[in-house]
Structure 1
Amino acid sequence: MEKKSFTFDEIKLKLVNYCVYQDRCHAEVEQKMREFLLIDEAKEEIMLYLLRENYLNEERFTRSYIRGKFYIKHWGRNKIRISLKQKQVPEKLINKSFDEIDEADYEKTIRKIFEDYYEKQKDLKEYQRKSKTIKYLISKGFEYDIILNIIEN
């Protein structure tokens, strides 16, 4: 199947729509651009346009990504951080953006996930239920020391 060819303006519009549909990080936009056979100058021009017109904003992307993964998917900070690093978001920006998660909400979420998951582990000894639940929380990206602190209080 041959690739349909688009004009520069059509490609630019496609990328604007790609960014409008959902916040994107730089790496995602660069990946999307690879679908079109563009010379480097054209890629650069589109990138600058997207940034200048605020279609592409890495901080806005990072903040909305953190909110979504925590408040909707209930991921912990570790899992969110790893995922953002895979999207080549700078560490400094990740750290700065974690204030999107309210500390009280974070603890409440850990407590709720702990209780729900713990309840389902019926046929195990107490310490097995507890350790299995802690492992589950760690796999969701929550920090071990915070988990312990919350369930022991």
Structure 2
Amino acid sequence: MQRSTKSYTLEEATRKMEHYCAYQERSHYEVRQKLISMNMIPEVIDVVAVHLIEHNFLNEERFAMAFARGKFRIKRWGRVRISMELKKKHISKVNINRALLEIENEDYIETFNELAEKKVETLKESDVYKKRKKFVDYFLYRGWESHLVYEKAHEIIK
């Protein structure tokens, strides 16, 4: 794969990144990676990042909150997975915790119970232990807290 050798002026890079951030919330890390892939030098990366932050194109807290809400509502991820994915995007602990507060506890438990009921119906396993293992693996992978998962597995798989 050949890397693009097109060079951008500071102005072009700034406009391109404004569009990139306006289209969808981005983390600081994603913006830096994009600028690096555009072959920008570190000094320019810093200038563009500062511009995006000053003009509110880039806001780590807003990104973290939107990410948490979206992954919970659309992908049905649990808090553990959301937190892990935000860490991968170099989001601060403070912003991760704020983002997780975006998920209402009632909605969280309601969603989990709904998903659990649906999942149990789809498991075609006669051995209770294997069925529980499949159930537990499914929910742990999606980042639901282990105590919730194990309690529910024992409650509905007998």
TM-score, with length taken from structure 1:
0.90
SS of the residue aligned with 2:91? Answer: coil
Q: Which runs of 5+ in 1 are unaligned?
A: none
Q: Which amino acid aligns with 1:107?
A: I
TM-score, with length taken from structure 2:
0.88
Q: Which runs of 5+ in 2 are unaligned?
A: none
Tell whether 2:88 aligns with 1:86: yes
RMSD of the TM alignment (CA)? 1.8
Higher mean C-alpha deviation, range 95-104 or range 63-72: 95-104
Structure 2 distance, partners of 1:112, 1:127, is 22
Structure 1 distance, partners of 2:110, 2:142, is 15
Tell whether 2:70 aligns with 1:54: no
Structure 2 equivalent of residue 112 of structure 1: 114
Structure 2 distance, partners of 1:15, 1:123, is 50
Offset at 1:17?
A: 0.5
Higher mean C-alpha deviation, range 125-134 or range 21-30: 125-134
Higher mean C-alpha deviation, range 43-52 or range 116-125: 116-125
Q: Which portions of structure 1, spanning 4 or more consecutive aligned residues, are displaced by more than 6 angstroms? A: none
Structure 2 equivalent of residue 20 of structure 1: 22
Count, aligned residues = 153
Asked if structure 2 preserves the Cα contact closer than 8 Å seen for 1:113 and 1:137, the reply is no
Q: Deviations over 1:83-121 (max 9, x none)?
A: 111111112210122111111111111111111111112
Q: Deviations over 1:23-67 (max 9, x none)?
A: 000100000011233333222111111000000000000000000
Identity %: 35
| Matching of residues 1-153 of structure 1 within 5 Å | 3-150=5-152, 152=155
Offset at 1:149?
A: 4.3
Structure 2 distance, partners of 1:141, 1:61, is 20
Q: Which amino acid aligns with 2:9?
A: T
